Structure 1
């Protein structure tokens, strides 16, 4: 049996404008991306221009962040806390009602399941911490040109915050990107993606009923169980076409004006 290394996690304190928000359990990589992604996902910043500096003190386990806008901790913590589902749960201050008020996604880009499965395999091959330990989560951006960016962490929410933070720092346009994750797409995971504006979200595992309901309301496409040659399309925003089965492939070709597809349907 092949021995794998142990996944690592560190307690890291996030300090905003001199006020300690909380101590988070994080994998000690891409911490600046996580800062931007977490602050954006929680509505504390609107973009990279709101952050003056990020001082990472790894040995002390401190992330000291200075924002250009004033930060009112009493106002933030007066909001009702919502504990995230699953292992390593965190806290979010966005309720489902809040998420429903996010902007609906408008994107005409379409993708095939074969393309998503190909990128999911590429994502897996470019996840070094998972390959080393077998116990890490990952999040992946698929860019317009087909290239990918991957971030990993002990927590699935942290990994998504890291990849969102990367996109924010690079000022990428969300509606032209695809988000892939190794974790379950729960309502709070969907809220992070919706806040940024992703049009398509894919996962190697399931989506929850609440997440799918929100995705339909916000016009976001959600695809689960991206494994091998299988996938489940949970939504019907028209951005994903099923080219995995002969009939689905033929119908897709017919829609695209390929007459020879009729032979497959007969």
Structure 2
């Protein structure tokens, strides 16, 4: 369990119409964490200061560096210093990785994710899992009720790996990509099967998020927000079902509606 708080209270001035009020507000924490891979500085991640072990492993899984449990040889986390050390089997993915600084929004610098070839290099997802509209709304309700850090601060995204009935794994983070990576890392470390699960997500479904979920071999991605056109195109190509705007007893099915049983 992390010893670092996930939010702090700060004095603020609240403005309502033409009046000001002094009060305290809860503000989410944000920390830089440097990952050393095979004794070399590899990347700095900016994230919420919890579940750093899962974040580091999930990030390396997303980058294709960790592909099976035997690839991971050593892992240590120093929360106080913001340092994670991992020894892993070296491969082509590590050699081709471009060192870069990754911000909490994770947009700039992730060069590989801007190319649709990143999706075309993966296999289509074949899964017979299905879900009803009621189950979609039930899972999004569960996600919202579990999002205590968001309720306290409004400053994080959340993601959950689910069966059609219940949440199996849940994480929150200031970064959309980090929340998904934490799920990836947890499942890798615990050897949890993902191709019969659903990912429920609070944020926008961008191409980067879609590719991460595809690499996890998850067939259904549900979000309370919108997808991008590139993400929809990739989902069609990869055989994934994408559901957006899942809230208030409604949602849109953008791809592969056969998995939504109405």
- Shorter-normalised TM-score: what interval? 0.7 to 0.9
What's the counterpart of residue 109 of structure 1? 129
Provide structure 2 residue ranges, at least 5 long, that are not aligned to the other structure: 1-13, 15-22
Separation in 2, partners of 1:90, 1:21: 17
Equivalent of residue 43 in structure 1, options 45, 56, 64: 64
What's the counterpart of residue 218 of structure 2? 198
Change in 2 beyond 3 A, CA 1:68/1:97:
closer
What's the counterpart of residue 243 of structure 2? 223
Change in 2 beyond 3 A, CA 1:231/1:64:
same
Separation in 1, partners of 2:91, 2:156: 35
Contact 2:131–2:164 (CA under 8 A) maintained in structure 1: no
* Deviations 1:186-242 (CA, angstroms, capped at 9, x unpaired): 111100011111100011100000000110111100000111211111112410134
Moved over 2 A (4+): 1-4, 68-78, 86-95, 143-148
Paired residues, number: 238
> Which structure 2 residues correspond to residues 1-266 of structure 1 after superposition, within 5 A?
4-69=25-90, 74-77=95-98, 87-89=105-107, 91-92=109-110, 93-94=112-113, 95-143=115-163, 146-242=166-262
Separation in 1, partners of 2:168, 2:97: 34
- Greater fraction helix: 1
Secondary structure in 2 aligned to 1:89? Answer: coil
Provide structure 1 residue ranges, at least 5 long, that are not aligned to the other structure: 243-266
Residue 68 of structure 1 and its aligned partner are, at CA, apart by 3.4
* Deviations 1:76-120 (CA, angstroms, capped at 9, x unpaired): 229xx8x99x94535433431121121111111211122111111
Secondary structure in 2 aligned to 1:183? Answer: coil
What's the counterpart of residue 257 of structure 1? none
Contact 1:139–1:180 (CA under 8 A) maintained in structure 2: yes
- Greater fraction strand: 2
Q: TM-score, normalised by structure 1?
A: 0.82
Separation in 1, partners of 2:69, 2:48: 22
